[in-house]
Structure 1
Amino acid sequence: MLAQAPAGDGAVYFYGAKEMKAVLPEATEGAEPLQFAKTLTEPRAVELTEADRIVIFSRYSTDSEAVALAAHLNEKGIPFVAVSSVSETAGSADLTELADVHINLWLTKGLLPDEQGGRFGQPFAMAALFVYYGLSFTMNEILAEYEL
């Protein structure tokens, strides 16, 4: 779905809520940026078309910023992918329900135990970058077949 944009007349826009903005410079200014990638920092300021594709990165599927953008994209008929951990309080106002494709980060609690019996260390941005690279490699592979 994402490779359809650069194969046609569209672009792939990346949006990151909170710390998930870490993916944006990697997509556009990293060592191997995607030629067709653009950042979406002010979603309502860009005139998106049905030829464009969006990837929304957020910590949880219930993030209010990300859900508002997803609802806006649904209204305009613009396909998008959402990348987030599924919230335990997921409902109808949730990226898993709104997105054309949802990729679950599966981060629900800290990775390491602390001395009080809790857990800490939630590398959401690191997991998002891992997913970004998977998407990037796949899109480049598909587009190479079409010599775009």
Structure 2
Amino acid sequence: MLKIFTTQLSGVFKKIDEQEDDTLEDCSRLLAQTITGNGTIHIKGFGELEGIASAITGSSESLPACVPYGENVVEAGDCILAFANKARDIEMEKLVAQAESEGISVVSVAAVEKGDEPIPNEEFHIDTKLLKPLVPGDDGERIGYPVFMLALYIYYALYFNTNEMLAEYDE
């Protein structure tokens, strides 16, 4: 089963790399602009991704100016990096709508199901491509839904791109 899981997970990583490259670039640019403009990046996870904020902000590889959402007041010039299982997560949709009404940019990360078009925050939305568990079991049920691993993978893609942009800015 582990071999199947690893193969399937690698396939999802590859899809994200190939299909979300431009969006990752645009989102990284937004994060870099927030940092160079002395703004704050507020990290928020919904559902089983609630722990993503502490995983990111507590890491030695956290982007500058990252704080868990709710720790500080979100102000003009800040942005929010929000993670959920599905793009149609009601709580994330509320956060995006509220932030946009206040002129705050949001980078959202979640799986997009067919028929979800257009999704809220489409310009700065990264699709995790994870719609169901990866490994079929003997009983027909699927197991292995590594949404947290994919959220961290996408964070690291943003981290690498944003750091590159910040390095160019410093030159």
For the superposition of Structure 1 and Structure 2, which TM-score range results when normalised by the shorter chain? Answer: 0.7 to 0.9
- In the alignment, structure 1 residue 114 sits paired with structure 2 residue 143: no
Q: CA deviation at 1:99?
A: 4.5
Residues 71-100 of structure 1: per-residue CA shift (max 9 Å, x gap) = 1011111111110001356366xxx33343
1:14 matched residue in structure 2:
43
RMSD: 2.0
Whichever residue aligns with residue 64 of structure 1, its letter is I
Q: CA deviation at 1:20?
A: 1.3
C-alpha separation between the residues in 2 aligned to 1:90 and 1:104? 11
Distance 1:99 1:55, change over 3 A: farther
Distance 1:90 1:68, change over 3 A: same
Alignment of 1:103-142 (within 5 A): 103-142=126-165
The number of aligned residues is 142
C-alpha separation between the residues in 2 aligned to 1:50 and 1:82? 18
Q: CA deviation at 1:35?
A: 2.4
Q: CA deviation at 1:6?
A: 0.9
Instruction: Work out which structure has the larger RCO, using CA pairs closer than 8 Å and 6 or more positions apart in sequence.
Output: 2
Whichever residue aligns with residue 70 of structure 1, its letter is V
Whichever residue aligns with residue 155 of structure 2, its letter is Y
Q: CA deviation at 1:147?
A: 2.3
- Contact 2:93–2:120, Cα closer than 8 Å, also in 1: no
Gaps of at least 5 residues in structure 2 are 1-29
Gaps of at least 5 residues in structure 1 are none
Q: CA deviation at 1:117?
A: 1.6
What SS does structure 2 have at the residue aligned with 1:100? helix
Alignment of 1:45-56 (within 5 A): 46-56=72-82
Whichever residue aligns with residue 123 of structure 2, its letter is D
Q: 1:4 aligns with which of 33, 39, 42?
A: 33
Distance 1:109 1:102, change over 3 A: same
1:29 matched residue in structure 2:
58
C-alpha separation between the residues in 2 aligned to 1:89 and 1:60? 12
Please, what TM-score do these two structures have when normalized by structure 1? 0.86
What SS does structure 1 have at the residue aligned with 2:83? strand
- In the alignment, structure 1 residue 64 sits paired with structure 2 residue 90: yes
Instruction: Indicate the structure with greater helix content.
Output: 2
- Contact 2:96–2:120, Cα closer than 8 Å, also in 1: no
- Percent of aligned positions that are identical: 32
Q: Which runs of 4+ in 1 moved over 3 A?
A: none
Residues 23-42 of structure 1: per-residue CA shift (max 9 Å, x gap) = 212321113222211110x3
Whichever residue aligns with residue 4 of structure 1, its letter is Q
What SS does structure 2 have at the residue aligned with 1:146? helix
